[in-house]
Amino acid sequence: MLNHLPLLAPLLQTLHASLTRLGPGLVGVAAVLPVAPNSLGSSPDQDDLHAWAGRLSPESLKSWVNRHLDAHKTAIDGLLTVEGPRTVGNTLALYDRAIAELGVAGSEAGLLHSVSAEKSVRDQAEAMVQAVSEAAVQLSLNPEVYHALSSMDISHADAATQHYIQRTLLQYRLAGVDKDLLARQRIQKLQERITELGLAFGRNVQEQVNTVVVTDAGELDGLPEDFLARHAPDAEGHRILTTDYPDYQPVMTFAKSDALRQRMFLAYNTRAYPANKQILMEILATRKELAGTLGFATWADLATADQMMGSAANVKTFLAQLDVASKPGATREYGMVLNFAQQHRPGLTAIDAASATYWYEQYRRSAFDFDSQSVRPYFPYERVQQGILDTAAKLFHVEFRPAPQQGDDAAALWDPSVTAWDVYDRPLERENGNAKREKIGRFYLDMHPRDGKDKWFSAFPLVPGIRGVQVPEAALICNFPGGNTDAAKSDPGLMQYSDVVTFFHEFGHLMHAILGGQQQWAGVSGIATEGDFVEVPSQMLEEFFRNAGLLQSFALHYQTGEPIPAELVARMNRASAFGRGNGVRGQLFYTRFSLDLHCLEPATIDLDAIMHAGYTAALPYTWMEGNRLYTSFTHLVGYSSNYYTYLFDKVIALDFFLQFDAKNLVEGPAALRYRKEVLEPGGSRPGETLVQSFLHRPQSLDAFQAWMNEEFADVGMPACCRSGT
């Protein structure tokens, strides 16, 4: 799950991971793997693949997960009793089945921990995630299983199978399977403690929603009319705002009141404080001890050992390159915005952290004649959703149909607000006009806030597919405006442009899970690449909705039905490009903060001092005392030290985007090639191979540098900011 990054347009997470390194074949709670049909004795009101089917309760969830854990154990027991030579057929098949059973249990318990409206179910889900984690750790430390897998003759296996086995054996070694018994027992305790702490950290963020009380209506000046309509005063004339994203983002972007923005900023960045401060410190200490037990100097060295990046030293080199590349533009950009702000606020000497988004918005209005509120009427939620579906259908050569609500293939839903969609392949029909379209996946959209639900945005793989056995399933868990079905509180759910980009970003993860989920093995199905490749497909899609033609196909004014004017899109693109320098600097801050915490000795860590120093080194905005963002920065649990993934993958994503024809983005030849060479392999090939296959060369920084420089390509500087005025 990705936390909000204040000062940046949100870049959103791929996997809803609460844990890391649960064991070979698993990437946190979210990298979940399927169970074969009819493998379990389901109760009458449940099915094998969906814990929420039928009458969901804490008891039914516990029973459902335990049946999968029992099936996992049965598969491992069978693997260990195989007689004769070890083969892919008699050993890997049973291992993969065990991973599938374990994964689906962890996946769906993790989902319900994030989305269930009932706290009792969320609490039970947390306990079951812990149980799955314990089973996964035990599997990762089982030397008999490792010996069985390493004894197989794979010389005649296909490339995907060989890659699966080789990567699995590497993960076993990194997990400590070759250590002595006492060391393995200690590793298991440390892993289980990390899991327990990570779940507690996430629960605190999820359940603590801070509020901001507005007693003076004047503080709401600048906010959109639909926002004000959603926040009518109570009997005492007070308006209650929450730290949920649909409240937070408009306040930080549009509210003229410095005092309101500062209160909201601190409310948002003190969620789960002080409880999560101590939890985080214990996580860091436990990870450090675990890394040392496994023979690594730091957790960051361990966490990068099986990634594309390769080592923490390589991460630092990469970040140093981006630091040099981004600093000149960021310095120039901030000077322009500060100069502008000083014309409107005489005596202002700096822009603080709570005001950066606001002043950038004001500058863009003046410099580019673009008010980001002007496009919101063209982005009502329901039309945006349909536009995303239509665009993705063309781009990925698929068709989306609402999933049936009745019958054998009916979609079980965990909340009435959730919708389910089936994915059908389109290329089959292009090759044979009489061919029946094949169903290749299902996904769920849980898109609006509600009490107890995870507060951010994520793509959540649920059931990676096994070719010929089951189709993959995935979900989007988001918190966009809209979704209110109460006629008395009708709300079109007007979205900001950044929300639209976020939606398509998350949808990219979803399609990666579906199209990559057509594999022989569960362990390489869907988003099963190296962890530092998973943001490439989603970030590549962020560039698509700068195209006026694409936007005009669905961006219709919610009152008049008129399409968004091309000239308005052009101004929006110029305005949105401005700010990339400090956007990258902000990402560098989060990346270095995450890395530093996992490289330093835990006993020497002062979270506030390190965060303050890192912030002021990377960004020009004045630090705000009382900022405790580390207590709600859930990537410290999921990505741990590997938050560099977003910047690393942005470089690759922009390189990928250059391969598309700007005049025919969704239906040009690059689209189908991208599907086949990047998405469809899932985790059956190394990330480096996917990059080389699509680019026909190694990745380059050139596209990234051009993208950053674009912010100054057409700056219409306000008269007040020109030299000599």
pLDDT bracket for residue 538 (50, 70, 90): very high
> For the chain, first and last CA: distance in Å?
47
Give mean pLDDT, residues 360-365: 97
The type of residue at 599 is: C
Other C-beta atoms within 10 Å of 622: how many? Answer: 16
What does the H/E/C string look like for 611-624? HHHHHHHHCCCECC
- Confirm whether 324 is domain-assigned: no
Report the DSSP beta bridge partners of residue 455: none
- Complete DSSP assignment for 576-609: HHTTHHHHHHHHHHHHHHHHHHTTS-GGG--HHH
- pTM here is 0.90
What pLDDT does residue 484 have?
72
What pLDDT does residue 485 have?
58
Average pLDDT, the chain: 90
pLDDT bracket for residue 710 (50, 70, 90): confident
- Confirm whether 226 is domain-assigned: yes
Distance CA 312, CA 301 (A): 5
Distances (CA, A) of 543 to 24, 536, 579, 660: 34, 12, 16, 11
- Confirm whether 256 is domain-assigned: yes
pLDDT in tens, 642-674: 999 999 999 999 999 999 999 999 989 999 999
- In this predicted model, which residue has the larger pLDDT, 25 or 455? 455
Cis peptide before 274 (omega within 30 of 0): yes
What proportion of the chain, given as a percentage, has pLDDT over 70? 90
Q: What strand order describes the sheet that includes 419-425?
A: 398-402, 419-425, 439-446, 473-477, 458-463
Give mean pLDDT, residues 111-124: 95
Beta strands in 313-352 (DSSP E): none
Neighbour-count burial of 223, counting CB atoms closer than 10 A to its CB (0-12 exposed, 13-18 middle, 19+ buried):
buried
What pLDDT does residue 464 have?
79
What pLDDT does residue 23 have?
34
Q: Which residues contact 324 (CB under 8 A, 6 or more apart)?
A: none
Distance CA 196, CA 502 (A): 30
pLDDT in tens, 163-188: 999 999 999 999 999 999 999 999 99
Pick from 612, 604, 617, 640: nearest CA to 628: 612
Containing structural domain, residue 239: 208-268
Distance CA 551, CA 378 (A): 9
Beta strands in 124-263 (DSSP E): 211-214, 239-242
Q: Is the pLDDT of residue 26 over 70?
A: no
Total tally of structural domains belonging to the chain: 1
- Complete DSSP assignment for 43-90: -TT--SS-TTSSS--HHHHHHHHHHHHHHHHHHHHHHHT--SS--III
Contact indicator for 198, 18 with CB cutoff of 8 Å: yes
- SS3 at position 440: strand
What pLDDT does residue 720 have?
38
- Confirm whether 88 is domain-assigned: no
Q: Is the pLDDT of residue 248 over 90?
A: yes
What pLDDT does residue 114 have?
93
- Confirm whether 273 is domain-assigned: no
Contact indicator for 385, 549 with CB cutoff of 8 Å: no
Q: Give the total residue count for the chain.
A: 725
pLDDT bracket for residue 510 (50, 70, 90): very high
Give mean pLDDT, residues 201-218: 95
- Confirm whether 521 is domain-assigned: no
Distance CA 4, CA 454 (A): 12
Pairing of strands 419-425, 211-214: unpaired
- Confirm whether 412 is domain-assigned: no
Report the DSSP beta bridge partners of residue 446: 477
Element holding 638 (H helix, E strand): helix 635-638
Q: Is the pLDDT of residue 129 over 90?
A: yes
- In this predicted model, which residue has the larger pLDDT, 219 or 43? 219
pLDDT bracket for residue 88 (50, 70, 90): very high
Q: Is the pLDDT of residue 429 over 70?
A: no
What pLDDT does residue 20 have?
32
Residue-wise over 12-23: b if at least 16 C-beta within 10 A, else e? bbbbbbbbbbbb
- In this predicted model, which residue has the larger pLDDT, 717 or 370? 370
The type of residue at 474 is: A
- Confirm whether 311 is domain-assigned: no
Distance CA 527, CA 178 (A): 28
- SS3 at position 65: helix
What proportion of the chain, given as a percentage, has pLDDT over 90? 84
Other C-beta atoms within 10 Å of 405: how many? Answer: 10
What pLDDT does residue 454 have?
87
The backbone torsions φ and ψ at residue 493, rounded to the nearest 5 degrees and listed phi first, read 65, 50
- For tokens 């291992």, the residue is 95
What pLDDT does residue 709 have?
87
What pLDDT does residue 21 have?
30
pLDDT in tens, 602-615: 999 999 999 999 99
Looking at 345-454, list the stretches that DSSP marks H as alpha helix, in order from N- to C-terminal side: 356-367, 381-396, 427-431
